[in-house]
Amino acid sequence: MRLGRFAALFLMAGVLMGAKLYLKNRVIDTAATPPDITLQSAAPSDIVGPAHYLIQYDHPPTPNDLQALTDSGATIAGYVHENGLVVAIADVKQLAYDGAVWIGKLDLFDKLSPMLAEDGDPHPVLVEFFFDVTPDAARNVLSDLGVVYLNNPNIGPHRLLAVADAAQAVGLSLRDEVAYVFPASADLVSGAPVVACSGALTAAGATGQYIPTVGDGWGGASHQAASLGYYFSKLTAQLPPDAVQSEVLRAFAEWAKYAQVTFNPAGSADAARSINILFASGDHGDGYPFDGPRGVLAHTFYPAPPNQEPLAGDMHFDDSEPWRIGADTDLFSVALHEAGHALGLGHSDRPGAVMYPYYTRVTGLTAEDIAAIQTLYPAPTSSGGQPTPTPTPTPTPTPAALTLNIDATPLTTTSDSVNLTGSASGGTGAISVLWSTDHGRSGGAQGSSTWSAHVPLSTGANSITVTARDAQSQTAAKSAMVLRQTPAASPSAPVVIQITAPSASGGVFRTSSSSCAVRGSASHASGISSLNWSSDRGGYGTVSGTSAWDAGQVPLQAGVNNITVTAKANDGSSGSQSVAINYSVATADTTAPSITITSPATATSTSSSDSIVVRGKASDNVGVTSVVWSTSAGSSGSATGSTAWTTTPIPLIVGFNSIEIRAYDAAGNSAWRSINVTRR
């Protein structure tokens, strides 16, 4: 590759007048920004290992462009609107970039989410790496910067969960391997089961968290209203066909409430400007095979461009997943997220948003999602052409700042554990406190406003992170470092400790009570000075007595609790004994009701009337308590009856009406069905 081609890039920048590269934190005007030609005078030996570059073409990248890049030793690491790619290559002067008009690099602030806290305290973050970075290389980046790594097997590929302060977040963004740093949700920090969205797809592969949208949506660069078709080419056998269609159409209708996008039936799966909805397993012909249960739930192809018809906008769901309505895996929630991609949206940085890159059960869009979709399409208007006030979710009061403190902690110890204490305040509702170590151990603390945690230690340095979480998923975190030194060998005889109650049959004691009395004996030549107990499910306490001891009623969590009693002798030696206690909790009612609509008979219909009466049936394993209805126009009411129910006349506006019917049981579980009625 001749060095003069970098100079050619500078001259060609004027060819793409007004062209821009759209990132979340910056819009790069490539016609006005000089390409990165500083490497023109660098010797190849000055470049160590692969580096990542932004490259823009004067046309949508073609398969030939991608092949030329690959042949020159580059790896495609992502797509950026407009006509941009992120590529990794060891020697940028070897890059084949015919048709390219600009080349540069992501800077520090392109990689930092604006939603990251700027105080000096550590906060949970997700660190996204470029797709070509190996897991070992990613973990080494965190280790190099002293960033605490939190283990969560559900994070998904190319991301790590960590706790970082502002300085460490900046240090991460300066690393070439890092693509983006953004806030982690409380569910991820607590270890709750989550499922990652693999990201929407383009012809050049998936996109990164650092982009807000892909392309201009279906409305073009001027962001006009859009009319789209939809076609159900293959449905899942796990749910009734009309229910599947109703849930997906309800997801479309939710986006249509807040943007000028209309959805109408298409004549075929290959129709232009249409979304083909397909359920399939494994290899289904699009080059992105599904990976089986609890893997990728769905994937969606962005609008054209960058994707080409007929694949543009299509939504594919993995039929090997356990699809449900009103329960995990909830079809409406996943379809609502994927429909956002089909309309052109990337992933949000805000935990709780529908477009956050992890699926959660939702009932509608958040203010964050509404603001995002209205960057691509105009807000709805009234029949007179005036903007219709956008209905937004009920605003949540801004919670008081959540604070967390850790009391003074010993820097060194010879013990195999340490007791941490502290306080938490502010936030909204109940506060829970969790701890984790960089050696893979974790648990819950006792208390909240004042809390205590018994943390086991590994030999050497132990970085302990304590995280507080309130009812609104606001989090605060602090870290402490404790060095466990190897104690000198004790010449004395071992401490003898026995647990006499409970008596574990087959190695496990079983109970239906939320606590259990633990008693036993301990002995040593120098005498017993103190005893304490701890649970691997969270909890710690002192034990009364010495040679005969009684821990009292030890609190239990549902499932197996390993309770360890440790006795310390007067000469400093210690010994431990454990018992496994299985606490079985009666299962609460989590079964959602079943609801069907019998009239009208189809999920979509037309009417010339100004109202409609909807009838149906509902059932529940315990009992249906109420059936209510609501419309996309803002009307709502209650139906009469439960197992057989009938609504009052539901008013219809001229045009499109989405009507949702929801059934509740006494436990608060709910299920819904919806119909779409067009009033002529």
pLDDT in tens, 117-167: 766 678 889 999 998 899 999 999 998 988 888 888 788 889 999 988 888
Mean pLDDT lowest for which of 345-349, 414-418, 480-484, 644-648?
Answer: 480-484
- Rounded mean pLDDT of 456-471? 82
Question: Position 64: which residue type?
Answer: N
Q: Which two tokens stand for residue 610?
A: 């100004």
- Rounded mean pLDDT of 619-648? 90
Question: Could you tell me which of 571, 566, 527 has the C-alpha nearest to residue 543?
Answer: 566
Please enumerate in sequence order all residues whose Cβ is within 8 A of that of 492, keeping only pairs 6 or more positions apart, or say none.
524, 525, 526, 569, 571, 573
The count of other CB atoms within 10 Å of the CB of residue 4 is 8
Span 400-484 CATH architecture: Sandwich (2.60)
Select the more confidently predicted residue: 490 or 675: 675
Kindly indicate the confidence band of residue 5, based on its pLDDT and cuts at 50, 70 and 90.
Answer: very low
| Residues of each domain in the chain carrying CATH 3.40.390.10 | 196-373
C-alpha to C-alpha distance for 418 and 410, rounded to whole angstroms = 8
3-state SS of 5-35? HHHHHHHHHHHCCCCEEECCCCEEECCCCCC
Q: What is the DSSP string of 561-619?
A: EEEEEEEEETTS-EEEEEEEEEE--PPP--PPPEEEEEESSSSEEEESSSEE--EEEEE
| Whether 250 contacts 325, CB under 8 Å | no
- Rounded mean pLDDT of 249-254? 95
Cα dihedral: 76, 80, 84, 90 (round 10): -40
- Rounded mean pLDDT of 553-582? 88
**pLDDT value at 30 more than 70:** yes
C-alpha to C-alpha distance for 306 and 297, rounded to whole angstroms = 23
Cross-strand pairs, 553: 517
Side by side, the strands of the sheet bearing 261-265 are: 261-265, 226-234, 274-280, 315-318, 298-300
Q: Which two tokens stand for residue 281?
A: 């397993």
In sign, the C-alpha dihedral spanning 267, 271, 277, 282 is positive
3-state SS of 411-461? CEECCCEEEEEEEEEEECCCCEEEEEECCCCEEECEECCEEEEEEECCCEE
pTM, 2 dp: 0.58
- Rounded mean pLDDT of 291-299? 88
- At the topology level, CATH places domain 196-373 in Collagenase (Catalytic Domain) (3.40.390)
Inter-residue long-range contacts of 235-242, CB under 8 Å, 24+ positions, other chains counted: 235/277, 235/279, 236/279, 236/317, 236/319, 236/323, 238/319, 238/322, 238/323, 239/323, 239/324, 239/325, 239/331, 242/602, 242/603
C-alpha to C-alpha distance for 24 and 209, rounded to whole angstroms = 9
Kindly indicate the confidence band of residue 205, based on its pLDDT and cuts at 50, 70 and 90.
Answer: low
| Residues of each domain in the chain carrying CATH 3.30.70.80 | 110-193
C-alpha to C-alpha distance for 365 and 345, rounded to whole angstroms = 13
| Residues of each domain in the chain carrying CATH 2.60.40.10 | 400-484, 496-583, 594-679
Yes or no: domain 4-105 corresponds to CATH 3.30.70:
yes
- Rounded mean pLDDT of 30-47? 53
What integer pLDDT is reported at residue 382 of this predicted model? 62
Span 496-583 CATH architecture: Sandwich (2.60)
What integer pLDDT is reported at residue 39 of this predicted model? 36
Kindly indicate the confidence band of residue 363, based on its pLDDT and cuts at 50, 70 and 90.
Answer: confident
Q: Which two tokens stand for residue 328?
A: 């995990």
Angle 331-342/241-256 helices, nearest 10 degrees? 50
What integer pLDDT is reported at residue 46 of this predicted model? 41
Query: Could you say which of 2.30.30.110, 2.60.40.1220, 2.60.40.10, 3.30.750.24 is the CATH number of the domain covering 594-679?
Result: 2.60.40.10
What integer pLDDT is reported at residue 13 of this predicted model? 33
- At the topology level, CATH places domain 110-193 in Alpha-Beta Plaits (3.30.70)
Kindly indicate the confidence band of residue 239, based on its pLDDT and cuts at 50, 70 and 90.
Answer: very high
Residue 84 Ramachandran class (φ > 0 left, ψ -120 to 50 alpha, else beta):
beta
Q: Which two tokens stand for residue 255?
A: 């986006």
Select the more confidently predicted residue: 25 or 387: 25
